[in-house]
Chains A and B, each alone.
Chain A
Amino acid sequence: MIRLLSLLLLALGALAAPLQADDRLPPAPYAYRQLDNPVQEQKAQALMETLRCLVCQGQSIADSDAPMAGDMRNQVRQRIAAGEEPEAIRQWLIERYGDYVSYAPRITASTWPLFVLPLAILVLAFLLLRRRFAAPEKLS
């Protein structure tokens, strides 16, 4: 019975295998290879850690083994090697995918409340607390 069951499982596994198909092409030249110039590689690494993988959206392209993330690393490294500035590459990607592709926060028309609100709340809290602590002194 167990043998039969394991045979069945094996058959199921064989059926499921094609579903896991992914591309068989070797990774892009600079997907897993660092740049020879350590300064450039450091720049590329810092940028890659703040770019979102588009097919595995919780990871940066530096963290992901998805083929598309490899292609993005390849592109980042080649552009850095060609002398492009990291922020120019980020901008190039934002022009294509929107702010979503970048993990580095930007102050824009829709994000400024995120930066202003905490400051406003701190100021408000400070004013309220000052009133509260100042009041008894005046009374005494």
Chain B
Amino acid sequence: MNEGAPRTSRWALWLPLAVFGLFVALVLYGLLRPASRDIPSTMIGKPLPAFDLPAAQPDRPGLAQANMATGKPRLLNIFASWCIPCAAEAPQLGELARLGVEIDGIAIRDHREDLAAFLARYGNPYARIGADDVSAVQLAMGSSGVPETFVIDGKGTIRYQHIGDIRADQIPMILQKLQEAGQ
């Protein structure tokens, strides 16, 4: 062919186009794949951070890290009265409590009266409710919103994180996670 250019085989001419095609495919894959906005906590498998929260309600004690290591798996529900999915989740938490699951709550940035009204309206499945007014424990747990539910095993280790409200069809899955944490 021409004399100056280094000898290239014919297929090499198509290489840039092929690379470009690959790039377009990658971009399309990234664009079309349903994006998840969830930020999973990287605290799974680690012990609970140290915390000691005051009682959020007069009729329930506050919540400390020491209360969670009871030898039996428990749920730790991070919620707030101003959070609408939390209200949607309430019947499922009630059902879990009816099934004998022990549930502790951490109320995020909540007014005591608002919380009392929320619990009166949607039920109170919590053994203890700690008030986290500056999201300090939430940040220490690696939780990025409300509601989130953590499975804590008998030694106080975080075993599972459920992001978003627990739907009715997810109750068996949560029970399964609790059972796994108990083994």
Contacts and interface: CB of A to CB of B under 8 A. Distances in A.
Interface of A: 19, 21-25, 28-29, 54-55, 57, 67-68, 71-72, 74-75, 93-98, 100-101, 131-132, 135-136, 139
B interface majority secondary structure: loop
Contacts of A136: 4
A96 B134 contact: no
B144 interface: yes
Given A25-B109, A135-B5, A71 B136 contact: yes
Best-surrounded residue of B6, B134, B141 (most CB of chain A within 10 A): B134
A28 B108 CA distance: 12
Give the secondary structure class of A's interface. helix
Given A19-B84, A25-B109, A55-B144, A71 B139 contact: yes
Given A54-B39, A131-B6, A23 B145 contact: no
A75 B132 CA distance: 13
Given A96-B140, A135-B4, A136-B4, A21 B82 contact: yes
A94 B41 CA distance: 10
Contacts of A25: 109-111, 133
A96 B43 contact: yes
B183 interface: no
Interface of B: 3-6, 37, 39-43, 80, 82, 84, 108-111, 114, 133-136, 138-142, 144-145
Contacts of A97: 39, 41-42, 142, 144
A24 B114 contact: yes
Contacts of A22: 82
Contacts of A68: 135, 138, 144-145
B82 A23 contact: yes
Nearest to A93: B139
B39 A74 contact: no
B50 to A, nearest CB: 13
